């Protein structure tokens, strides 16, 4: 990881809720000295208080990076505290949905290198995925630094255009909730077939977790993995006829769900 530069010049974390804490834990576990981290958080957790980082203290004059991890609705109140760090070499990385690069530049300064990233909650267990895109003032080194920091909590990928962020938010940012609801729905279906709620939930959770691990460790496509489980005229095929129905099945329902989330993400950006 490119932590030498960050360790030397410092990192500022604006907001340290669940996502901020997950990232901070990943950085510390990967060797970033706590003394190099400066956190601004009005309601610090016990873990944060004991982490050894600088907490609500004076900020370095020119840190390598500032991570904007506050809720979107709090961005307007939080940004003035780090505005003085803009228009320089400090890279700003925002993980807040709904705040555009242009809007951030209006507050932080027109020459500020700014990166928008969209991680998701599996970052809390080191299995997140973060998509990122930078403005015209970001160098390759800036983007590589952002990737190094975000890779502490999972995979990363670069986007071609900021307009893709809304789709990313709808698919992977909100996506864990879809999977959790799938577990709930599978368990309820098991109960409807006579299983106890405890057994149904245990089976549903283990099935989704196991299938995810199988997908993660396989070079085969999701389509092929599905076919591997589906015997001709068997039970899985009978279920998939319902789930894959072009009008009432999962594909059209998922398209509607992701479209609704993307539309809301665009509304937040306006």
Same domain (yes/no): 189, 72: no
Parallel, antiparallel, or unpaired: how do β-strands 54-55 and 11-14 relate?
unpaired
The answer to whether 232 touches 225, Cβ cutoff 8 Å, is no
Which pLDDT value is given to residue 167? 95
Same domain (yes/no): 160, 200: no
Cβ-count burial of 2 within 10 angstroms (0-12 exposed, 13-18 middle, 19+ buried)? middle
Parallel, antiparallel, or unpaired: how do β-strands 54-55 and 37-40 relate?
parallel
Which pLDDT value is given to residue 57? 92
Average pLDDT score over the chain = 94
The yes-or-no verdict on residue 239 having pLDDT over 90 is: yes
Whole-angstrom distance, CA of residue 127 vs CA of residue 143: 20
Q: Helix 222-229 and helix 197-216: axis angle, to 10°?
A: 130
Q: What is the mean pLDDT of residues 137-152?
A: 94
Out of 145, 166, 187, a domain closes at 166
Q: What is the mean pLDDT of residues 33-50?
A: 95
CATH number at residue 218: 1.10.3730.10
Which pLDDT value is given to residue 251? 97
The yes-or-no verdict on residue 1 having pLDDT over 60 is: no
Out of 134, 166, 198, a domain closes at 166
The answer to whether 131 touches 164, Cβ cutoff 8 Å, is yes
Same domain (yes/no): 237, 144: no
Whole-angstrom distance, CA of residue 175 vs CA of residue 36: 33
Same domain (yes/no): 47, 140: yes
CATH number at residue 77: 3.40.50.720
The yes-or-no verdict on residue 270 having pLDDT over 80 is: no
Same domain (yes/no): 228, 137: no
Quote the Cα angle for 31-78-167, to 5°: 75
Same domain (yes/no): 219, 156: no
Same domain (yes/no): 84, 191: no
Out of 136, 166, 196, a domain closes at 166
Same domain (yes/no): 98, 219: no
Q: What is the pLDDT of residues 202-226, one digit of tens each?
A: 999 999 999 999 999 999 999 999 9
The answer to whether 141 touches 40, Cβ cutoff 8 Å, is no
Whole-angstrom distance, CA of residue 34 vs CA of residue 11: 10
Question: Closest Cα partner for 11 from 74, 73, 82, 87?
Answer: 82
Q: What is the mean pLDDT of residues 61-69?
A: 95
Question: Closest Cα partner for 75 from 55, 46, 104?
Answer: 104
Cβ-count burial of 247 within 10 angstroms (0-12 exposed, 13-18 middle, 19+ buried)? exposed
Please give the residue range of the domain that contains residue 12: 3-166
Q: How many residues does the chain have?
A: 270
Read off the pLDDT band of 184 (50, 70, 90). very high
The yes-or-no verdict on residue 75 having pLDDT over 90 is: no
Q: What is the pLDDT of residues 112-139, one digit of tens each?
A: 999 999 999 999 888 999 999 999 999 9
Same domain (yes/no): 159, 208: no
Same domain (yes/no): 39, 152: yes
Same domain (yes/no): 162, 179: no
The answer to whether 95 touches 169, Cβ cutoff 8 Å, is no
**Number of domains within the chain:** 2
Read off the pLDDT band of 2 (50, 70, 90). low
Q: Count how many Cα atoms sit within 13 Å of the Cα of residue 126 in the half-sphere of its side chain.
A: 7
Which pLDDT value is given to residue 47? 96
Query: Residue 38, SS3?
Result: strand
Q: What is the pLDDT of residues 5-19, one digit of tens each?
A: 898 999 999 999 989
Q: What is the pLDDT of residues 81-99, one digit of tens each?
A: 899 999 999 999 999 888 8
Which residues are 114's β-sheet partners?
92
Same domain (yes/no): 202, 68: no
């Amino acid at each position: 990881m490119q932590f030498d530069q960050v360790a030397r010049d410092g990192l500022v974390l604006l907001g340290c809720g669940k996502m901020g804490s997950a990232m901070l834990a990943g950085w510390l576990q990967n060797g970033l000295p706590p003394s190099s981290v400066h956190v601004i958080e009005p309601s610090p957790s016990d873990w944060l208080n004991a982490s050894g980082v600088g907490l609500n203290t004076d900020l370095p004059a020119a840190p390598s990076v500032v991570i904007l991890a506050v809720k979107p609705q709090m961005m307007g109140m939080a940004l003035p505290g780090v505005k003085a760090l803009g228009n320089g070499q400090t890279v700003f990385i925002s993980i807040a949905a709904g705040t555009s690069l242009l809007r951030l530049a209006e507050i932080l300064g027109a020459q500020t290198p700014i990166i928008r990233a969209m991680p998701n909650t599996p970052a809390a267990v080191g299995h997140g995925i973060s998509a990122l895109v930078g403005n015209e003032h970001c160098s390759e080194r800036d983007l590589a630094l952002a990737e190094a920091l975000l890779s502490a909590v999972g995979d990363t990928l670069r986007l071609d255009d900021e307009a893709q962020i809304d789709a990313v938010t709808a698919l992977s940012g909100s996506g864990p909730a879809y999977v959790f609801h799938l577990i709930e729905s599978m368990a309820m279906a098991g109960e409807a077939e006579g299983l106890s709620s405890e057994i149904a939930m245990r089976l549903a959770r283990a099935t989704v977790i196991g299938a995810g691990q199988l997908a993660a460790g396989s070079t085969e496509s999701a389509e092929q993995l599905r076919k591997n489980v589906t015997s001709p005229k068997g039970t899985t095929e009978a279920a998939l006829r319902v789930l894959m129905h072009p009008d009432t099945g999962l594909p059209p329902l998922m398209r509607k769900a992701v479209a609704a989330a993307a539309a809301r993400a665009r509304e937040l950006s306006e």
